Amino acid sequence: MTDTAQPEIALTVEEPLAAAPDQAVALTRHPGLREFAGRLGDTPLVEVPGPPGGAKVLAKYEFANPFGSVKDRTAFALVCRAIAAHTGPEPLKLLDASAGNMARALAGLGELAGIPTRLVVPSVIPPSLLTAMEKTGAEIELADAAGGLLGMIKVCEKIAADDPSLTPLVQHRNMANVAAHEFGTGKEILDQLGEHRPAAWVSAIGTGGTLAGVHRALRTRWPDVVVAGVTPSEMPYGTERAPHSEPRFAGAGGFGNGLRQPFVDTQLPEAEQLHVTYAESLRGMVDYRKLTGTSIGASAAAAWLSAKKVAERFGPDQVVVTLFADAGPEEDWVKAEQTAG
């Protein structure tokens, strides 16, 4: 795919929200969401293996969320905002593009709420995730993996243009994404840190909502905290390379063609950019489980490896905070064990 063959996507974003989307309307109209809402968040912040002599590394265990990933937070915020904004006699129908975890969360929320949900996912999505989504009754559209996230967003935009009855959630531009992590994940981290001052905040960049939102929360108390984003070496943030389907750790990566995730571009232009190869992330999964007995996914392993590198710059009395997005699908664990073996 050439640069000229890949059309641009909308990248404008609104101003940051003053609060997370209100849940009240969603929970009143769709009581099936109440149990999920009660179980969402309050995930543990755990000290994890760090570099000898370096800063402590603390990781937010987001696989403790109801559907198993940090995207549960984002999905719920976007769905609550869409429900509150919906007017008119026609029923609400949702649409979005996702490489995996967000689609899983949206499919599950759609089932709980009884809201029809259409999802664009890559053709290489792990079968276990695809099966879980299909069981919810969500309508799944497989997009050519060679187009990357950029291609999926274009497919989503075309579907929305052809069917105006759908409400596109547009996770890569919807500020409810950032707000979910500023007023949810980030606030929890502040409370869990107490008086411990974080030297740095490190997170994988998918849409960039987690990186930007948590940083917005942290800087209210510590404005000089270092921030670093993590993307695959095979498709780094801001790369001029065209989208492609080469293997890389899921849930993160650049758009391609020089395009940048707007949450990072507008909120965090100063963020350091760190890169991890797919093979490194798979080895990291296995190494982390051997050290701790806990399973983490490839993007979490990439975040861990990157956080350890950042922690090398700081002393043992300091703290680096990161986030583990999920525990990884079974297909990644097969590959990880093969790589390690």
Read off the pLDDT band of 341 (50, 70, 90). Answer: confident
Reported as a single tens digit per residue, the pLDDT across 21-58 is: 999 999 999 999 999 999 999 999 999 999 999 999 99
Cite the residue boundaries of each domain of the chain with CATH code 3.40.50.1100. 26-65+175-340, 72-168
Q: In the numeric block, which tokens belong to residue 108? A: 């599950």
Bridge partners for 160 per DSSP: none
**How many CA within 13 A on the CB side of residue 236?**
12
The helix (H) or strand (E) run that includes residue 229 is strand 226-232
Distances (CA, A) of 65 to 38, 69, 73, 131, 231: 11, 6, 8, 19, 23
The reported pLDDT for the residue numbered 340 is 81
What's the one-letter identity of residue 254?
A: G
**Residue 4 pLDDT exceeds 70:** no
Q: Report the Cα 73 to chain-centroid distance in Å.
A: 9
Reported as a single tens digit per residue, the pLDDT across 212-222 is: 999 999 999 99
Helix (H, G, I), strand (E, B) or coil at 216: helix
CATH 3.40.50.1100 fits 72-168, yes or no: yes
What distance in Å separates the CA atoms of residue 19 and residue 217, rounded to the nearest whole number? 11
Q: Classify strands 117-122 and 94-97 as parallel, antiparallel or unpaired.
A: parallel
Reported as a single tens digit per residue, the pLDDT across 77-88 is: 999 999 999 998
Inter-residue contact 112 to 91 (CB < 8 Å): no
The b/e string for 278-289 (b: 16+ C-beta within 10 A; e otherwise) is: bebbbbbbbbbb
What distance in Å separates the CA atoms of residue 341 and residue 329, rounded to the nearest whole number? 19
Which comes out higher in pLDDT, residue 261 or 4?
261
Q: Classify strands 45-48 and 56-61 as parallel, antiparallel or unpaired.
A: antiparallel
Ordered strands of the 226-232 beta sheet? 45-48, 56-61, 319-324, 198-204, 226-232, 272-276
Helices (H), 55-119: 71-85, 101-113
The reported pLDDT for the residue numbered 1 is 37
The mean pLDDT of 147-159, rounded to a whole number, is 94
The mean pLDDT of 304-309, rounded to a whole number, is 99
Inter-residue contact 204 to 264 (CB < 8 Å): no
The mean pLDDT of 279-306, rounded to a whole number, is 98
Please state which architecture CATH assigns to domain 26-65+175-340: 3-Layer(aba) Sandwich (3.40)
Model pTM greater than 0.85? yes
